[in-house]
Every structure is written in structure tokens, then in C-alpha cells.
Amino acid sequence: MITRRHLLGTASAALAASGVGLPKFSEAEAAIAELTPGVPEGVGSYATMAKLPGKKPLIQLSDRPPNYEAPLEYLRTPITPNDQFYVRYHLSDIPELKAEGYKIAVGGDGANATAEITLDDLKKMPAVEVVAVNQCSGSRRGLSKPHVQGVEWGYGAMGCARWKGAKLKDVLDKVGLKKEAIEVSFNGADGPAVAATPDFIKSIPVWKAIEESTIIAYEMNGVPLPHLNGFPARIIVPGWTGTYWMKHVIAINVLTKPEANFWMNPAYRIPVGKFPLRDRFLSQENAASTPITEMVVNSLITSHRNGDKVKAGKVTVSGMAWDGGYGISSVQVSTDGGKSWSAAKLGEDLGRFAFRPWSFDLSAKKGKNSVMVNATNKLGQSQTAELIFNPAGYHNNVMQNITLTA
């Protein structure tokens, strides 16, 4: 397995090669450079800590395309700083777009007209701000047992930011929707390295596209989007997994037939009936599978890692909880393996799509102390005790259970 020393050395070497000043890692900070536990042992042969432009060191799981996970320690606040936000791409040809000359082509057979929308046009429209979790559909895929194919993400393929932009509905109003329109598709400026790779195109149902919270964002946490998080503008679909949050968006098409691109079918699908879905993507469903859409209720311990040593007595354990936008109603903590539960304290509510902080004061006894966490949303949905297995490793919301040694 990859070691802390190896990761620190790799991060230092990468920064030295880039000419960037070397960070001084304290013993406490050294934990940031550990790979998320639980992923397959083989991941240690290629995963490294690496620093992208404008980012603090992230866990590099692939370079082409760039897929970089946030260490657990970067997820201790309800708003994830831009330089600590994870990076996820499907395609490796990622152009450096400029604000000047940037345009989004809007049309399609389900639209009454066509239009070209510039970045200035977006900024002249009524601005909307939403705090929302962006989570890769495959977050925690690496924890699946048996293991499945795909990027072997641990816990950190996600982050929560304050997104600002124009409502997608206002952009669609520029071209008008035909009554036959059923989906709205998106294409980004990033492209495949070889022609045989299908372009990354995604669609959402019209009803989702015209929701007040679905936006075309040009700001992230009060500043222009970072390049690797979608500059100049990206689609934000709060409550739904990140696969629909198209970065560097350059085309929006209104469709009268279901989008048939590879990335809609067969990719990014889950077995019908496996997971609780309130609002379904019916135009993309078939008898066997349905597109992954809203995130399932989940929580994460970010204050400690499994195996950490603590002092006996009061220990505050904390983390984040989130779901598909229904809102977190409670977080429960068990210290006896799930036999009994106590309520954790919920922190500031930044909105139904945001991380909800929680904390719990543990009375740590000398020796090993178990901490298990379970979040429940306002629909009454809770996390699972055992993995709901599916071939793509999606929707892993197994209750996290760590051991602290006092």
C-alpha cells in the first residue's frame, strides 16, 4: 500500500519540478497526504499527491483525463475552498478558454429559435446564488466489494460551493420551448484525445432544466470559476450527481427525443428499483435501468480518520451530511456498533442542497472506541448498513464506522 512518506515525497517532488515553493508539512498536516482508506490495494501503485495550478495537493488517481480527489481534511468546512475542490474529467483534451469571445450556442429541434449567449449576456441576466454539493456519481466506488471498474474514488470525490450564475430557464426563454420538448442536453469544450472516444454529452429532463435552482454558473465561492472547475461557465444541477454539471459549456440543445449519447446510455445508469428516487428521469428509463440522478442521503466523518489516537475523555467528532436536496433532518451517532443511537448536534443550514455540518461529543474510554454515523433526510430516508451493490459502484451511502484509540 502507498505510505504517508511516499505521498509526501511525491508531492514535494512534483512541486519542486514545477518550480513552486515547497510546502512545509507539519506532523498534523501530514495526514492530509494519506490516501483515503478502503480502496483496492493496487491503487497504491499509481496514486500520488499532486498539485494542479491553483490547487492545494490533491490525490491524483489519473492524469489524462485529470481525476483528483480531495483528502478528508479538506472537507471539514461546509464550504469547500476552490483550491481544495476535487477535479473530475472524462476527456483529456481540455482547452484554456478565455472570457473574451466565449459563446454558448442554444437551439435544438425542441426550441423555437436559436441564440448565442456570451459571458456578458449571462451576467446581465438576474443572478441566482445557490450553495450545493457537487459529488461525482462514483464517489466511494473504490470502497465497493467486490471492486468494480472505473476511477477508484475514495471519500473525497465531492465538495460544496457557493455557485452564482443565471437561471438556465432564463437562457431557454431566449429560444422558447416547443410543447414536444422533453430533454435539454449539454456539451462542453473539452473533447476526446482520439476520435473513437465518444464526446461527453449529457441531458436532463425539461422539468429539471427549468427549476429555479438549475443555473449556468460563472462564479464559485465569490470569484470566477477556476479553469479546472469549469471556466468560463458550467451547468449546476443542485441535488443531482456531478455527471450533469457540464464544465466549459458551449452548447445547449432542447430535444424532442431522448439523448442517445454513450454517456447517457449505457453509461451512468443504475438498476431499476435499487435506490429510492422520488423524481425520475422517465424519458431515459427502460425495463432494466434508469439514469443515476439525485444523490442519496449520506454523511462523512471528517474530524478523524479510522485508527486515530485521541486522549481519553471528551472528544468532539464532526463531519458533514447531505442528500439530494430534501434537507437533513437528523444525524445519529452510535458508539456500540449500532445497538443504540444518540443525536448529533446539527450546524448551520446553508440550504437544502448544501453540506450540513454535525458534531458529537464522545466520552472516549481508554482503549478502542467505535463511532458510527447515520444521517436521515426530511423524507425519512436514512443510510444503509450494507452496500447496495451495483455494477458501476454508484450511491455508496453505507454508514461510516471508525475506531478511535484513547
Q: Could you tell me the CATH number of the domain that includes residue 388? A: 2.60.40.650
pLDDT classification of 353: cutoffs 50, 70, 90: very high
- Residue 212's domain comprises 103-291
Are 34 and 146 within one domain?
Answer: no
Using the 3D structure, point to which of 65, 88, 111 is the last residue of a domain. Answer: 88
Using the 3D structure, point to which of 291, 308, 334 is the last residue of a domain. Answer: 291
Give the CATH number, domain containing residue 166: 3.90.420.10
In the chain, the amino acid numbered 369 is N
Question: What's the pTM?
Answer: 0.91
Give residue 292's Cα distance to chain centre. Answer: 13
58, 50 contact by CB (below 8 A): yes
* 10: pLDDT strictly greater than 50: no
Q: Coil, helix or strand for 11?
A: helix
> Residues 94-122: what's their mean pLDDT?
97
Mean pLDDT, all residues of the chain: 91
Are 388 and 323 within one domain?
Answer: yes
What is residue 33's predicted lDDT score, i.e. its pLDDT?
42
Are 73 and 107 within one domain?
Answer: no
Length of the chain (residues): 406
Q: How many CA atoms lie within 13 A of 88 on its CB side?
A: 25
> Residues 284-296: what's their mean pLDDT?
96
Are 241 and 197 within one domain?
Answer: yes
What is residue 135's predicted lDDT score, i.e. its pLDDT?
98
Q: Which residues contact 194 (CB under 8 A, 6 or more apart)?
A: none
Q: Which of 373, 317, 372, 378 is nearest to 349 (CA)?
A: 378
98 in any annotated domain: no
Are 180 and 231 within one domain?
Answer: yes
141 in any annotated domain: yes
Angle, CA of 67, 69 and 75, to the nearest 5°: 150
Q: Coil, helix or strand for 32?
A: helix
Q: What is the 8-class DSSP label of residue 193?
A: S
45 in any annotated domain: yes
Total domains in the fold of the chain: 3
* 29: pLDDT strictly greater than 60: no
What is residue 35's predicted lDDT score, i.e. its pLDDT?
64
Are 340 and 390 within one domain?
Answer: yes
What is residue 49's predicted lDDT score, i.e. its pLDDT?
87
Measured between alpha carbons, how far is 113 from 106 in angstroms, rounded to an integer?
Answer: 8
Structure-block grid coordinates of residue 170: 432564463
* 88: pLDDT strictly greater than 50: yes
Residue-wise pLDDT for 226-276, tens only, equals: 999 999 999 999 999 999 999 999 999 999 999 999 999 999 999 999 998
What is residue 36's predicted lDDT score, i.e. its pLDDT?
66
pLDDT classification of 21: cutoffs 50, 70, 90: very low
* 290: pLDDT strictly greater than 80: yes
18 in any annotated domain: yes
Measured between alpha carbons, how far is 224 from 102 in angstroms, rounded to an integer?
Answer: 14
Q: How many CB atoms lie within 10 A of CB 266?
A: 9
> Residues 304-318: what's their mean pLDDT?
96
pLDDT classification of 43: cutoffs 50, 70, 90: confident
Question: In terms of DSSP bridges, do strands 215-220 and 158-167 run parallel, antiparallel, or are they unpaired?
Answer: antiparallel
Are 120 and 200 within one domain?
Answer: yes
Are 363 and 229 within one domain?
Answer: no
227 in any annotated domain: yes
Are 110 and 186 within one domain?
Answer: yes
Q: Which residues contact 127 (CB under 8 A, 6 or more apart)?
A: 164, 165, 166
* 387: pLDDT strictly greater than 90: yes
* 70: pLDDT strictly greater than 90: yes
Residue-wise pLDDT for 312-350, tens only, equals: 999 999 999 999 999 999 999 999 999 999 999 999 999
Are 259 and 392 within one domain?
Answer: no
Q: Is the dihedral of CA 328, 329, 331, 336 positive or negative?
A: negative
8, 48 contact by CB (below 8 A): no
Using the 3D structure, point to which of 291, 316, 342 is the last residue of a domain. Answer: 291
Are 137 and 272 within one domain?
Answer: yes
